[in-house]
A and B are shown apart, each in its own frame.
Chain A
Amino acid sequence: MSPETLIPKLGVVTDIRIDTPDVKTFRVVGLDGKKVFEHMPGQCAMLSIPGVGEAMFSITSSPTNTEFMEFSIKKCGCLTNWLHAMDVGQQITIRGPYGNSFPVEGALKGQDLLFVAGGIGLAPLRSVINYVRDNRQNYGKIQIVYGSRSKDDLVDYKEILDEWMADDGIEVNLTIDQPQEGWDGHVGFVPNYVKELEPDLNKTVLMCGPPIMIKFTLAGLKELGFKETQVYTTMELRMKCGVGKCGRCNIGSKYVCKDGPVFRFDELDELPNEY
């Protein structure tokens, strides 16, 4: 029998970290204790609990992590509710990696990078950020603009404070939607904050967040003088097979699971606005 991508492999959850009230980060390894497969930043995997469901999640750990994979998952449906309720030691099924990746070994090399994220949108970018940090010599300046509803909703807050902010040459700009006790940082929405920060026009932008944030941030970036060819995002659509066959994530002549999830905005312009 030839190998079949629809038949998953087994993984085991070795650590569960509570990030925010509705986001947890799950650490997964194979039953042999090693990584189940290798991936590139931006790629996804299908996780499932048989009988509960199977869904596509972006791999939030960097490929430079040689020990395990991590998935930051927001509680928002049947499967994710189940995942949030499980304990360490639970086995899950995993298949992948699926989709393309951010061009970390291509167009992004040597560039100054601006990461823009909102809420759980930091999850897919975390993989890139840590990949870039671990290959620091290959990239220019790094700026991260990250916003969430409140301080408690900032995903990976500890990692941001302890590691990213501690790095030389990384500028981290955090913001929350509403003023909050114990928060002396910036308050306001991400799109406005990006405009206020007036990032250098030579930066390549990697953006992920809720559709409304993406829409207004892109408009703001364009006002500042950024071109669509400078801005990458990663998309989310309903997926079942992960390999461009089941038809669910088809937009125009592209399949988001196979041809995406990473797109440059000028590529999206050629697709019907159906996402």
Chain B
Amino acid sequence: MLKLSLDRLNDLFAAVAADQVLYIPADDASGQARFQRWHDGLEMTGALNTVRSAKDFFFPQTENLVDFKLKGKEIEIIDPRTEHEDFVIFGVRACDARSFTILDKVFLVDPVDSYYQSRREHGTVVTMACTQPEETCFCTAFGIDAAAPEGDCSCWMDDTSLYLQPQTDKGQRLVDHLGDLLQTCDDSAVAAQQQSTRAVLEKLPFANLSLDGFDGEHLLELFDSEKWAELSEACLGCGTCTFVCPTCQCYDIKDFDTGSGIQRFRCWDSCMYSDFTKMAHGNPRLTQLERFRQRFMHKLVYFPANNEGEYGCVGCGRCLSKCPISMNIVKVAKSLGGENL
């Protein structure tokens, strides 16, 4: 394990940023945390997590796929892809770090999504252990340990020091590059912090959230549950939950006329939107009930059915705090699962 005195944190950021682009979670003018490109003096936020998840780095909200130029009956196809520059995301929480492995199961399976793959290859994920989880956190339900986050390099911070533990070759290269800034140390301080964090994690209201029964075997039973009507009745049909979610990955492909050509881009889409499945001959999901059901069935039933039981949720709690009508995956799981099944 390696260690850095906190008063040299800015030096560490400067050293990382010297040859890679560095992003850290910092407060913006509105007082909210979001990942920002580091510049000298930019300080880390005190907030537990960013409003938008870290998925943006690998799956941005909009992204150019291909360009076209049209001339009469002729079309020219232009591949706009370039090598991404190397970048480091510092301070990713354990929940968001797990979301990358979930997104990998979508974008890196055959046929590989080269846009996502390139970003994954060039990005180094430095995670930060939580010490003060919120009541909305339920990462424990998915076997995530917020006190021991995954990633290329895991970090812990206390009042005086930053502790670093590289986990992959990428992480090792990063700390090697930092050289003299870091001293080796034992893991006693980290172990003590982990112990106290885990004591808080155990006390979280949803620490023992049961997902029993959410699996492919109960697919039709869950789908046909009468409870969806009540659960979805107040849903506004907005995309807040999907857009703040670190694992939601549905997208739309659209063409944009730039005036000098056509840009085909993809952008985040939401199964909560009324036109998501609308096509020329009709719409198989006509009411909000069906759209609402799709989102939660996908995360809790369809995704695990296709991915050895892994859920499409990491318990980050963003949808719990951001849904305009406070309806969320925990309420759905409690209402439909366990003994209610």
> Which A residues lie at the B interface, using CB under 8 A?
1-10, 50-54, 76-77, 80, 87, 89-93, 236-238, 240-241, 243, 245-248, 250, 252-253, 270, 272, 274-275
B122 interface residue per 8 A CB criterion: no
Band of interface residues on B: 35 or more
22 residue pairs of the A-B complex, CB under 8 angstroms, read A1-B79, A6-B65, A6-B115, A6-B266, A54-B264, A77-B280, A80-B280, A238-B277, A241-B251, A245-B106, A245-B107, A245-B113, A246-B250, A246-B253, A248-B250, A252-B302, A253-B301, A253-B302, A272-B219, A272-B223, A272-B297, A274-B284
Task: Tell whether, in the assembled complex, residue A236 and residue B279 are in contact, meaning their CB atoms are under 8 Å apart.
Answer: yes
The 9 closest A-B pairs by CB, nearest first: A247-B250, A50-B68, A50-B262, A253-B305, A238-B279, A77-B280, A76-B280, A51-B262, A91-B75
A275 to B113, CA, bound (A): 27
Task: Tell whether, in the assembled complex, residue A90 and residue B73 are in contact, meaning their CB atoms are under 8 Å apart.
Answer: yes
Task: Tell whether, in the assembled complex, residue B251 and residue A246 are in contact, meaning their CB atoms are under 8 Å apart.
Answer: yes
Task: Tell whether, in the assembled complex, residue A6 and residue B75 are in contact, meaning their CB atoms are under 8 Å apart.
Answer: no
Task: Tell whether, in the assembled complex, residue A50 and residue B294 are in contact, meaning their CB atoms are under 8 Å apart.
Answer: no
The answer to whether residues A87 and B77 also contact, given A238-B277, A247-B250 and a CB cut-off of 8 A, is no
Which residues in B have their C-beta under 8 angstroms from that of A9? 77
> For chain B, what secondary structure do more than half of its interface residues adopt (helix, strand, loop), or is it mixed?
mixed
Question: Which residue on chain B has the smallest CB distance to residue A12?
Answer: B73
Task: Tell whether, in the assembled complex, residue B70 and residue A50 are in contact, meaning their CB atoms are under 8 Å apart.
Answer: yes
Which residues in B have their C-beta under 8 angstroms from that of A50? 68, 70, 75, 255, 262, 264
Which residues in A have their C-beta under 8 angstroms from that of B66? 6-8
A275 to B75, CA, bound (A): 35
Of residues 122 through 161 on chain B, the ones whose CB sits less than 8 Å from some CB of chain A are none
A247 to B252, CA, bound (A): 9
A243 to B66, CA, bound (A): 17
Question: Which residue on chain B has the smallest CB distance to residue A54?
Answer: B253
Task: Tell whether, in the assembled complex, residue B252 and residue A240 are in contact, meaning their CB atoms are under 8 Å apart.
Answer: yes
A248 to B262, CA, bound (A): 23
B64-97 toward A: CB 8 Å interface, digit per residue (1/0)?
0110101001110101010000000000000000
Which residues in B have their C-beta under 8 angstroms from that of A52? 255
Question: Which residue on chain A has the smallest CB distance to residue B250?
Answer: A247
Task: Tell whether, in the assembled complex, residue A1 and residue B257 are in contact, meaning their CB atoms are under 8 Å apart.
Answer: no
The answer to whether residues A1 and B114 also contact, given A7-B66, A7-B79, A253-B305 and a CB cut-off of 8 A, is yes
Which residues in B have their C-beta under 8 angstroms from that of A92? 75
